[in-house]
Structure 1
Amino acid sequence: MSEGHDAGDRGLLDTHIWLKSLGNNLNFDGLKKLQMLNLEEDQVDDQGIAHVKWLKDLMILGLNKTKVSDAGLVHLNGLKSLTTLYLSNTGITDEGLEHLLSLKSLQELDVTGTSVTDAGVDKLKEALPSCKIYR
């Protein structure tokens, strides 16, 4: 068995992980088709979020109240199916939004309770005009 918490149901499309003790012990090897993942209030940080980049079918990702910062958002670049991203009450800033500019499918982004500014939101809206941004 590989390191971390392994969920091996290859047919699973949706999961909510509410275990605050998971942290960076994430292993999605058997869940490549996962479409929805909620890690809200978990201890996951930039290192842990790196495991999400392999979930190419992911459409909805919840990272509210996690330890994810600007540096961690680089791991989301390849998630071309991502339509909804929840980042409220995280440590992200305008710098982190730069990593989201390539997510052309993104339709909804929540950055309430972050240090994102109007200028950062405006730049993202320019690149992703159909994306609703909650601040």
Structure 2
Amino acid sequence: MKFTRKANAQWNGAGKDGKGYLTTASGALSKTPYSFHTRFEDGEKGTNPEELIGAAHSGCFAMQLSFLLNEAGFTATTLDVAAVVTFEDGSVTKVSLTLEGDVPNIDASQFQEIATKAKEVCPISKLLKADIKLNVTLK
């Protein structure tokens, strides 16, 4: 399977005082504001690249895990994934994924094994060069 997705960024002004907008072809983001302040200071409403990476990574990982669980004969009731993206010294250095899953009839070791495989084969995990940690809890 091959496909492409499109997103646009528009930036106006200087780096620290400027502002920008992000738009996705799907319309999920439409002129969503971002700025130095939303990225480095959490000072105003808007998003930032690291937050979007976290959303993309947690969403991709949850979907990948769901497919792998299905292949193993399980269906998750719920997979809650939080991603914390660490930015330091000009680089994204780490992503911590925290997974809490409710999967009937699976034992904790099998859930851990499948979740670890999902982390490894998730397309966004493969894209990132950062250290990716995974913490797993089965309800």
**Normalised TM-score (structure 2):** 0.27
Compare the two structures and name the one with the higher helix fraction: 2
